[in-house]
Amino acid sequence: MIIKLSKQLGNTIGELQEYKTFQEKSKVMEKNTKLKKLLKTITDKKVEIDKKLRTGKPVEADEKREVKDIEDTLKGNKTFMEFARAQEAYFKILNKINEAMTEGIKEVND
């Protein structure tokens, strides 16, 4: 029964406009090599900075500036911002689903 309900939930999620938009914008992002490179660079830089902070090493101002510059570039990119908005909308739905499941579990156990 639970597998059948899960499949129905998956089918319903797959029909949501938020899911369809997220998939569409994800495909556009995947094809954009410039954005993929920027995202990899900023991820690598943030990991590097986090590692320095955890080990007590100083983070240089130019490292922080480089991350901010990339963030500003991404925020100014229409394709990236459309992807980010679509991702946020889709993840909100997934969070609501998770909250509803958690609420259902609590109801059974109370």
CATH code, 77: 1.20.1500.10
pLDDT at 58: 93
Please give the residue range of the domain that contains residue 105: 2-109
Q: Which position has the token pair 């902070």? A: 53
In tens, the pLDDT along 46-65 reads 999 999 999 999 999 999 99
Average pLDDT rounded to a whole number, residues 17-35: 97
Amino acid at position 104, single letter = G
% the chain with pLDDT above 90: 96
- Name the domain count of the chain: 1
Phi, psi of 21 (to 5 degrees): -65, -45
pLDDT at 102: 95
Query: Distance (Å, rounded) from C-alpha 79 to C-alpha 29?
Result: 7
